[in-house]
Structure 1
Amino acid sequence: MIATERLVLRRFRPGDAEAFAAYRSIPEVARYQSWDAPFSLKQARTTVAAFTTGDPAQPGWFQYAIDLDGQLVGDLGLNTCDNLRQAELGYTLAPAYQGRGYATEAVNGLLEHLFTERGLHRVSAECDARNLSSVRLLERVGFRQEGFRPENSWFKGEWTDDLLFGLLRSSWQSARTAN
């Protein structure tokens, strides 16, 4: 669906379930996410089957598979608002592929698509304040921290601080023309 230099952001396929279960079963991957590890193959098959029916052009969540040379290496979640002009972004990358620029490339590819092809006005993201890798990724691709909510979420048995980020299309365009 969306091609970058090294990656393809595509619709999930049933054959992705095994790789999906593998990286979502890693405790470090699940730490700041809504699921718990291990993530069974049965769960993965059900989740992937649900992902295959989504429509990225409609309001609600759509999950993009991050594909590297035919291998599922992660996923990007996009929650498009009812007005189709705003969306919330989330992402997960298998640890074996972290630190190589793939997450940055995937998020940049999706942002390019959202701002130029779909005409979105704004993309937001939220993360646990302890998730420094996520914070750095959001800042690297141009998001600005817009808020801090101390002990806002009861998550996996503890109160956590939330960081709120946003990126306007106008800011994204300005940064691109400056580079």
Structure 2
Amino acid sequence: MFVRTERLTVRRFSSADAERFAAYRSDPAVAHFQGWEAPVSLADAQQQVERFAQADPEAAGWFQYAVALDGVLIGDLGVNLHENLMQADIGFTFATEYQGQGYASEAVRGLLQYLFVDRALHKVSAECDARNTASALLLERVGFTREGLRLSHTWFKGEWTDDLLYGYLNPQQPTRGQSA
């Protein structure tokens, strides 16, 4: 376990998560702004979950965290740790039936606490499709600052999309112009 919040556990994936993972990632509403196409087969989900379970959360690159409520997988959080091991990008995916209840905000806040306090990262960034207002609002709600808009920047699922850019500096570390 990496993070425990009031209602959730943010932990490593296990093989037992594959069926739930395939189910929510196969939902077209969940996949709409994500980089995969629905449906996700159980065989593909099993391979992905196995790869997630083997990954090293302290190594540069993507690491996927499972988010569980009362032991049931309800979503996942991705962290792309940069080569410098001092900054990261994040992403999040939650099953439709668990959206709009504060679970994603709670999980992201818990993950940020872990990344800033336990891992001492300097900055966490995120980006989302500008049409994905729910994700943009979540990022702002948990403390991210909107840092930019890239117009017609990403060719995504057959069309050019605008990208919103967000950043969150570690509040416990000095920023530019401040001494340690």
TM-score by length of 2: 0.94
The answer to whether residue 9 in structure 2 is matched with residue 8 in structure 1 is yes
Question: TM-score, structure 1 length as denominator?
Answer: 0.94
In 2 relative to 1, CA 9–172 (structure 1 residues): closer, same or farther, beyond 3 Å? farther
Higher helix share: 1
Once residues 21 and 170 of structure 1 are traced to their aligned partners in structure 2, the CA distance between those partners, rounded to angstroms, is 36
Amino acid at match of 2:27: I
The aligned length equals 173
Which sections of structure 2, spanning at least 5 residues, go unmatched?
175-180
Q: Secondary structure at the match of 1:170?
A: coil
Q: In the alignment, which residue of structure 2 is the partner of 1:27?
A: 28
Deviation at 1:172, TM superposition (A): 9.3
Aligned-partner Cα distance in 2 for 1:136–1:63: 22
2:24 partner amino acid:
Y
Tell me which residue corresponds to 1:118. Answer: 119
Runs of 4+ deviating beyond 6 Å: none
Secondary structure in structure 2 of the residue aligned to 1:109: helix
1:66 positional shift: 0.2
Residue 57 of structure 1 and its aligned partner are, at CA, apart by 1.2
1:151 counterpart = 2:132: no
Q: CA deviation at 1:171?
A: 7.8
> 1:17, 1:166 → 2: CA distance?
31
- Structure 2 counterpart of 1:85, which letter? M
* Rounded Cα–Cα distance in structure 1 between residues aligned with 2:104 and 2:50: 24
* 1:23-47 superposed Cα distances (whole Å, 9 cap, x missing partner): 0000010010010011111110111
Q: Distance in 2 between matches of 1:69 and 1:39?
A: 24
CA distance in 2, matches of 1:79, 1:70: 25
Shift of 1:170: 2.3
- Given residue 20 of structure 2, which amino acid in structure 1 is its aligned partner? A
Q: Structure 1 stretches of 5 or more lacking a match?
A: 174-179
Match of 2:165 in 1: 164
Amino acid at match of 2:83: D
Could you tell me whether the CA contact under 8 Å between 2:152 and 2:160 is conserved in 1? yes
In the other structure, the counterpart of 1:67 is: 68
CA RMSD of aligned residues (A): 1.3
Task: Give distance in 2, aligned partners of 1:113 and 1:170.
Answer: 13
Contact 2:149/2:163 (CA < 8 Å) preserved in 1? yes
Q: CA deviation at 1:115?
A: 0.5
The one-letter code sitting in structure 1 at the alignment partner of 2:165 is L
Question: Conserved in 2, the CA contact under 8 Å of 1:63 and 1:76?
Answer: yes
Structure-1 separation of matches of 2:54 and 2:47: 12
Q: Percent identity?
A: 60
